[in-house]
Amino acid sequence: MGEHLSALQVSEAATRYAAALLDLATDQKAVEQTESELNSFGKALDDSAELKAALSKPTVSSEDKSAVIRAIAAKLSLSPLVGNFLSVAADNHRAGEIGDMVRAYRDLSAAQRGMTRASVVSAHELTPAQVKELEDLVASVSGGEVSMDVRVDPELIAGFQLKIGSRLIDASVKSKLDRMNLAMKGA
């Protein structure tokens, strides 16, 4: 499946790493600061395709990945908790999953605060009214406050993918075309 779908899915390992970090951050009363710092690192990842590729590339040693992560952590003035967490992830050959760990941490942190996290990836930019409508819909289903990540992926052609917790609602043209293609190959 395409990269747009993988952005909505988080691996079990990433969730375990995020849960461990949340436990440490809770003990240190630094849950929100940790989330803010992870978001800064996640933005740096999202803003640099080269960085994201280097951290995911198996030919780059975990030592080199860890060194790059430490340099970025220093530049972003990340706390020792977050900097060490990111370095440990790289040392354990999980640098390519750091983006997933950031998303998992956000989800777990929101759940701890009683908030529902949702992600929507749409083919085109959503208007503020459309985002509000989706947030209201998710809030009515979840019965609580909602925090929504909104991204655009033109590969979807039209429609959107909405993820609430572990549930994915895929109303994209791309997935419909993929299913039709698969059905035709099977026929």
Query: pLDDT tens digit string along 14-64?
Result: 999 999 999 999 999 999 999 999 999 999 988 888 988 999 999 999 899
Q: How many angstroms separate the CA atoms of 143 and 10, rounded?
A: 23
Which part of the chain has CATH 1.10.520.20? 3-109
Q: What pLDDT score was predicted for residue 11?
A: 81
Does domain 3-109 fall under CATH 1.20.1050.10? My reply is no
Closest C-alpha to 82, from 51, 44, 36, 117: 36
Is 178 a residue whose pLDDT tops 90?
no
Mean pLDDT computed over 141-170: 86
Q: How confident is the model at residue 9 (pLDDT cuts 50, 70, 90)?
A: low
Is 147 a residue whose pLDDT tops 50?
yes
Given a contact cutoff of 8 angstroms between Cβ atoms, the answer to whether 22 and 109 are in contact is: yes
pLDDT in tens, 79-133: 999 999 999 999 999 999 999 999 899 889 988 888 888 889 999 999 999 999 9
Q: How many angstroms separate the CA atoms of 104 and 99, rounded?
A: 9
What's this model's pTM, rounded to 2 decimal places?
0.67
Tokens 């947030």, located at residue: 135
Is 165 a residue whose pLDDT tops 80?
no
Q: Could you tell me the strand order of the sheet in which 116-122 lies?
A: 146-152, 116-122, 159-164, 167-172
Q: What single-letter amino acid sits at 27?
A: D
